[in-house]
Structure 1
């Protein structure tokens, strides 16, 4: 199944994707996060049919309690950054007000021109859990979505702490759809790709992750409880703009696409902050 969140005539809602239409399920729960807490309605649940093209798409989970991101989780990216191998995943956080829907532009901040792209698979949690065993971790996954962990590199590199460069407003496109795990029979073969103005910049399959999804969930759940609607961005492949010679920074008018096989395509325009 595929779900998305939207704004329709000024009101937020969510629904199930049905071709070019959306089955509006807002009557079952006010938002998709609440629906995950309560349990998604049956596959044959009905509601008003909406024209997808007439909706304004929101981040697939507009109001996550936690957004946890994994740094340097593909060997190609670890190598290009010169990072040493570690025994544990590198975890940092994002704030919910950095998220964007598929219909919203990435905003390059006025204070910096060093805006970079990072194509990533996002995992959305569907169950409460703490100290989750790695062997059971996938049972806690509600679904997957495209994510662009766009980063303001000079602010990221002010110190060893990533937080400033990862939390400028309107820098994290997320969506357009939440895809349930049954739609992805072989997760290891899923390809993550970034395309900038028609040129492929990043490409790797998930089997190149240094820490696979079950290990990430298990590790994170040891230090913080996970809850339905929490989001884990699982890392980006090599090919980021900052590590090219010369560097490639996102600029106003650029189109950056995150495409993940079987999951979707997230297209974002870049605009200059006013």
Structure 2
């Protein structure tokens, strides 16, 4: 299945995609749907109000995840590009829900940082709670996969050795367009970012150092993973900071982030205001 969150009537609705139409499931968003242990059967059986896919306003597929846990330096090519050694353990940091935007919303460029970079990423969405999940059992806890661009404010990110302050700017991080269940997607597909028609990143999600099941197991050793939690698995080579000279997002540029089989994020970079 492909599950999306749409904006309608001043709120949001969880929907199932059937070809070129969207069927309401009876929940406010995909995260709320996943909180029901019977979510898969409910979503498959839904016969609610229909909307056309074309022209419908999409929100972040999980608008308010309880946790967004991101992985840094997790593609072999990107690690080598940044001049580092392959890690034994994943580098983790958190992102907050206030950073999320829909798959076609504008990315806000903050006036405080001129070095805003792109990071195309495969995201894993949790569908079943668990703590200390064995890697062999981790697939049972994955509801599906989606696309994220972990847009990063590099000047702020590298002010210190901790990255959080460069990763959590509001209205910066597209997530979607759909949650695709594991029966319709297997990691290993091609991931890309394209800026104003020029390919910046292109790799295979098979190049991950630490794969989805390992990450679910590793992270759940520390904290209980809940339905709707999102794990963002890292970015391949081709980021703007690593280019010579560096290149960053500019006002008006369109960033497209895609993973074959999952869809495309399409976001215009727009200069933000210092007023909040």
Superposition pairs of residues 73-152 of structure 1, within 5 angstroms: 73-152=74-153
Note the alpha carbon deviations across 1:65-84, whole angstroms, 9 max, x for none.
Answer: 00000000001111121223
**Aligned pairs (5 A) from 1:186-205:** 186-188=186-188, 190-205=189-204
2:118–2:151: 8 Å Cα contact kept in structure 1?
yes
Q: Distance in 1 between matches of 2:170 and 2:68?
A: 14
Q: What secondary structure, in the 3-state scheme, does the structure 2 residue paired with 1:5 have?
A: strand
- How far apart are the structure 2 equivalents of 1:191 and 1:52? 24
What is the deviation of 1:20? 2.1
Matches of 1:30 and 1:187 in 2, distance apart?
A: 28
**Who is 1:169 aligned against?**
170
Q: Distance in 2 between matches of 1:83 and 1:64?
A: 31
For residue 87 of structure 1, report the CA deviation from its aligned partner.
1.3
Distance 2:152 2:30 in 1: 27
Which secondary structure does the structure 2 equivalent of 1:76 belong to? helix
CA distance in 1, matches of 2:158, 2:108: 19
Q: d(CA) in 2 for partners of 1:209 and 1:197?
A: 26
Residues 196 and 42 of structure 1, relative CA distance in 2, 3 Å threshold? closer
The structural deviation recorded for 1:209 is 0.8
8 Å contact from structure 2 (residues 71, 233) kept in 1: yes
Secondary structure of the 2:270 match is: strand
Match of 1:51 in 2: 52
Pairing 1:236–2:241 present: no
Deviations 1:8-47 (A, max 9, x none): 121211100122221011x2x2322121111221523200
Separation in 1, partners of 2:244, 2:182: 38
Partner of 1:182: 183
Match of 2:214? 215
CA distance in 2, matches of 1:16, 1:9: 18
- Runs of 4+ in structure 1 off by over 4 angstroms are none
Q: What TM-score, normalized to structure 1? A: 0.96
Aligned to 1:5: 5
- Alpha-carbon shift at residue 53 of structure 1 (Å): 3.1
- The DSSP-based 3-state class of the residue aligned with 2:45 is coil
Tell me the C-alpha RMSD between the 2 structures. 1.1
Aligned counterparts of 1:31 and 1:194: Cα–Cα separation in 2: 27
TM-score norm. by structure 2 comes to 0.95
Q: Confirm or deny: 8 A CA contact 2:24 2:46 kept in the other structure.
A: no
Which SS does the other structure have where 1:187 is aligned?
coil
Contact 2:16/2:43 (CA < 8 Å) preserved in 1?
no
Deviation at 1:104, TM superposition (A): 1.1
The one-character-per-residue Cα deviations of 1:109-132 (angstroms, maximum 9, x if unpaired) are 011110000000010000001101
Q: Which residue of 1 aligns with 2:249?
A: 250
Shift of 1:207: 1.5
Task: Give secondary structure in 2 for the equivalent of 1:220.
Answer: helix
Shift of 1:52: 2.6
**Structure 1: runs of 5+ lacking an equivalent:** none
- The yes-or-no answer on 1:33 pairing with 2:20 is no
For the residue of structure 2 that corresponds to 1:154, the secondary structure is helix
Tell me the residue number matched to 1:71.
72
- Return 5+ residue gaps in structure 2 as ranges: none
